[in-house]
Amino acid sequence: MIVGDVTLNGIRQVPAEIRDRILEIGDAFDDTLVDDMERLYSPLLGGRGRREVSIKKDISYGSHGQQVLDVHTATKGGDGLTSVLFFHGGGFVRGYKNVAGDLLYGNVATYFARHGMIGVNATYRLAPDHPWPAGADDVGAALGWARDNISDFGGDPDKIIVMGQSAGATHVATYAFRLDIHGAEGPGCAGIILMSGIYHSVDGPMAPNYVAYYGERVADYARKMVQGNMDWAGCPVFISIAEFDPPRFQLSGISLMNELASCHGNIPRIKMLLGHNHISQVMHIDTDDETFGAEAVDFIRTCVER
């Protein structure tokens, strides 16, 4: 795409059919969006990446059946590698590490494995059976497993990036920024990547899935949210939002950036994923579309080379 003398293909890389559907949907977010994006992206995943990567599946990092993870490594191997530990979304009440076979969300871990790292794709306990702060506790438990075991796969335990999308991002942020969650020694990661999470209370009644996780007592919400309770911000942060995210996700990402910068002196890297919505932002990873991946790899490099 050319506008004047400027080539925009490197900025907006969404394939035409998917781009048209995303534009048609706009910032709406419901179950049909998930189904549409899965239908459109599944054929683009599972090609070259799967041939280059080995996956060890369903490793337990805790006693609950949902405390499991997969480790994606390049078939060529390596030592002292950086790892990316990923947590999926699902609105606190649903979701799993693998959807559509293992194409989603295994695509995230496969992408990083193909780029000289180790990808770890984790799932976690869900509300309402496991309310706040279970998700954040599971981030810590999975990270603890990684620090203890990633060297068996060629990884360096001091080079672990923790990444989450949507509810997964909220859990990662809750773990990383709160001393009462991660403890006095710090979170134990080299950096964090947050894709379109919710970090502060929203105006109006809380949606049922939020009530399932945070509880029915409105008076408790303020102390459970990420913002207003951050007392540690000592590692690099990358915040991304999508152009067609529902506005509450965009505003929450910007608000978190502002609090990190103004109150903690930690100015995060921030990126709007042009042409993408709340679901395509994670489903496009490990396709030919590098809207997110290229900058994520650059961010990770700055974290581990500091």
Residue range 217-247, pLDDT digits in tens: 988 999 999 999 999 989 999 999 999 999 9
CA distance 140 to 134: 10
Residue 104 CA, distance from chain mean position = 13
Which pLDDT does position 231 carry in this prediction? Answer: 93
The answer to whether the pTM exceeds 0.75 is yes
Arithmetic mean of pLDDT, 184-207: 91
CA distance 172 to 136: 6
Kindly state the helix (H) or strand (E) to which residue 241 belongs, with its residue range: strand 237-244
CA distance 192 to 85: 9
Which pLDDT does position 5 carry in this prediction? Answer: 42
CB 278 within 8 A of CB 285: no
Can you state the angle between helices 16-25 and 31-41, rounded to 10 degrees? 170
Q: Which runs of consecutive H residues, i.e. helices, occur in 115-246? A: 134-149, 167-177, 179-182, 208-214, 221-224
Residue 65 CA, distance from chain mean position = 21
Beta strand 269-277 with 68-74 is unpaired
Q: For 38-47, 79-88, 198-207, 277-286, which range has the lowest pLDDT when averaged over its residues?
A: 198-207
CA distance 87 to 137: 12
Q: Is 249 left (phi over 0), alpha (psi -120 to 50) or beta?
A: alpha
CB 115 within 8 A of CB 108: no
Domains by residue range for the chain, with CATH: 2-304 (3.40.50.1820)
Residue range 29-84, pLDDT digits in tens: 988 898 999 999 999 986 656 778 999 999 999 999 999 999 999 988 889 999 99
Can you state the angle between helices 167-177 and 134-149, rounded to 10 degrees? 70
Which pLDDT does position 40 carry in this prediction? Answer: 94
CA distance 207 to 145: 33
- Picking from 277, 292, 289, the residue whose alpha carbon sits closest to that of residue 36 is 277
Phi/psi of residue 56, nearest 5 degrees: -100, 115
